[in-house]
Amino acid sequence: MVLDAWGEGAAPSAYATAALHSVGKTLADVEAEIRSAETAEPAGRAGLTAAVNSLSVAVAHAEAGLRVNNRTEVKSAQQDLRAAMRSLAAAYTSAFGPKP
C-alpha cells in the first residue's frame, strides 16, 4: 500500500498524495455507480454504498494527513482503511454471495 511505502520513506509525499487523490476520485465514481444501479436488493446496495463511503472518508483522512506530514493521522487513517476494506468485503459477500 502506498501509505506503508510513504511511512517507510520509500514513497515521496507528493506521489502518495496524488495516488490517494486518484483513489478518492475512483471511489466517488464507484459510489455513484452503486447508487444509480437498479437492483432487487436495496439493502445490499445500501451496504455497499456505506462501505465505499467509509473507504472514501478514510482515503480523504489519509490524504489530509499526508498533506501536513502528520504520521499519527496517516496511521489512524490506515487503520480506518483496513476496517473499511473489511466492511466492503462483508457488504460484497452479503450483496452477491449465495442466498439461502
Task: Dump pLDDT digits (tens) for 12-36.
Answer: 999 999 999 999 999 999 999 988 8
More confident residue, 6 or 41: 6
Average pLDDT value over all residues in the chain: 92
Confidence of residue 40 (pLDDT cuts 50, 70, 90): low
As given in the structure block, the three cell numbers for residue 88 are: 466492503
CA atoms within 13 A on the CB side of 34: 23
Q: Which range, 42-46, 79-83, 88-92, is most confident?
A: 79-83
- What pLDDT sits at residue 42? 77
Calculate the CA 5 to chain-centre distance. 17
pLDDT > 90 in the chain, percent: 75
What is the value of pTM for the model shown? 0.89
